[in-house]
Amino acid sequence: MTRFPYGIADFRRIRREGMVYVDRTAHIRDLESLGSILVFLRPRRFGKSLWVQTLATYYDLRYADAFDEIFDGLAVHGEPTPLRSRYFVLQLNLSRVTPRGSVDAIAESLRRHVRSRAELFLKEYADHLAPTRVRPDDSASEILDTVLGAVRQTDHPLYLLIDEYDNFVNEVMVEDVQTYQALFEAAGPYKELMKAVKNATEGMGLERIFMTGVAPVALNDLTSGFNNATDVSQEPELAALCGFCEHEIHDVLLRRLGEQVGRSGREVEETLDLLRTWYNGYRFSEDADVLVYNPTNVLYFLSHLQRRAKPPKQLHDANLRTDQAKLAFLARTAAGTGVIEQLTEGTGEILVPRLLDAFSLGQLTAQLHGDASAVASFLYYMGLLTLSEEPGRLRVPNLVVRKLLLGAGGRKRLRRSLSSGAPGKPSSQRFRHPLRAQARAPQQAGEDEP
């Protein structure tokens, strides 16, 4: 029976238990060629954490003997790179840091997370490192220094993986701008940690860094604290690194599932058409003609289809509703309101001569009241807009996003759009009366909630 890893980012478990894994390991070589300190940005719940776990398993020296078992059948197994199984791997997941409370409270949460990960690191590598302990009151940067001190006594360098580097700071940004700014002051806790990370790459044992996140705002607010990273988010060879391509859904997922639940070829094609309208349409590089589906929504849909033999009534993952807070943040500004109205009442596209790839919070807030490009760029990083096939334009990628935008636009615009059937673009073609389709689709898809 096909098992879909909906909500699971544990690469080794997925491989061990034979769950569906859409192979992306050929991109390991691409990443190595792009640099040693990389930042990769994608919208929330787009498979970034699973990719981080894939990298962790590939580079971790502890899994050298298990390489064949874990990676058998994957692209990288037949042609591994020389860096395979060479590193100590330290992982941070900054979504675990609380964004609530004072600067001191957030700083303490950050310190505790770094400490817990460092203590786990020292325990897991106890057979490879000299006995080392983290002092209870050390700051986050001091804890990192302790780990590096132990690593430098060995023949193996450190690979640092930071998942969701901007998760907690983005939450702070939309709730409390003053607290956000304090985190990035010269002696702010987040800036101090990232400055220590940067210094560690200068011959102190830290050889490679891979960071995931959603937007470049926090990265630019770090300024000199962490200015040696390369943003590879729009590199054409990585356009499909996270997300599913249509042929993968059709060949790997739907056909296999169709055989299990007894769906005919026609029903499989109808299901694919429904998936295409609701989830497809993301384009992440102007130099690659590749459209990808949101993988979380696809796995949510297919998991339900497998259990109930029909699609869910609610056709989007409820966890994506948290984006409404950021939409509300934008909707409070004049430019934000104008952009949302233009997207929901017009063609679903907006003219943006240049996607902003480097802007600070100060620049963003200054532009929000008059520059539609800033708002549109921020919506792009949130996954609410994507690159259009026409240069210089961004568009609504699919019907899930259109529903979110309509929610931010208010009930009045929703009623007006429902009556007019305003078109949008789910992929390379316009929606056919998307909001009327939206009203019908759940009933067509089935009556069961997920």
Query: What b/e sequence results for 75-114 when a residue is b if at least 16 CB atoms lie within 10 Å of its CB, and e otherwise?
Result: ebeeeeeebbbbbbbbbbbbbbbebeeebeebbbbbbebb
Residues 375 and 395 reside in one and the same domain: yes
Q: Is residue 226, in this structure, part of any structural domain at all?
A: yes
Q: Give the H/E segment covering residue 206.
A: strand 206-213
Q: Pick from 206, 257, 295: which is nearest to 1 by CA? A: 257
Percent over 70 (pLDDT), the chain: 84
Q: Are 147 and 90 in contact (CB under 8 A)?
A: yes
As for how many domains the chain has, the answer is 3
The pLDDT tens digits for 373-391 are 888 998 999 999 999 999 9
Residue 19, in any domain of the structure: yes
Tell me which amino acid residue 2 is. T
Entry pTM: 0.88
Residue 40 sits in the same domain as residue 124: yes
- Tens digit of pLDDT for each residue in 83-93? 999 999 999 99
The answer to whether residue 6 is domain-embedded is no
The model's pLDDT over 312-330, given as tens digits with 9 standing for 90+, comes to: 988 876 766 656 777 777 7
**Alpha-carbon span 160 to 56, nearest angstrom:** 9
Encode burial over 376-402: b for 16+ CB neighbours within 10 A, e otherwise: bbbbbbbbbbbbbeeeebbbbbbbbbb
Q: What is the pLDDT of residues 138-188, one digit of tens each?
A: 999 999 999 999 999 999 999 999 999 999 988 888 788 889 888 887 678
Judge if 223 and 284 occupy the same domain: no
Rounded to 10 deg, the angle between the 265-279 and 434-445 helix axes is 130
The reply to whether 80 and 131 lie within a common domain is yes
b/e for 147-181, b at 16 or more Cβ within 10 A?
bbebbeeeebbbbbbbbbbbbbbbbbbbebeebbb
What is residue 5's three-state secondary structure? coil
Asked whether residue 63 is assigned to any structural domain, the reply reads yes
User: Do 223 and 269 belong to one domain?
Assistant: no
Single out the residue in 238, 254, 277 at which a domain terminates: 238
Q: How does pLDDT run across 15-43, given as a tens digit for each residue?
A: 999 999 999 999 999 999 999 999 999 99
Same domain for 99 and 175? yes
Q: Domain range spanning residue 147? A: 11-238
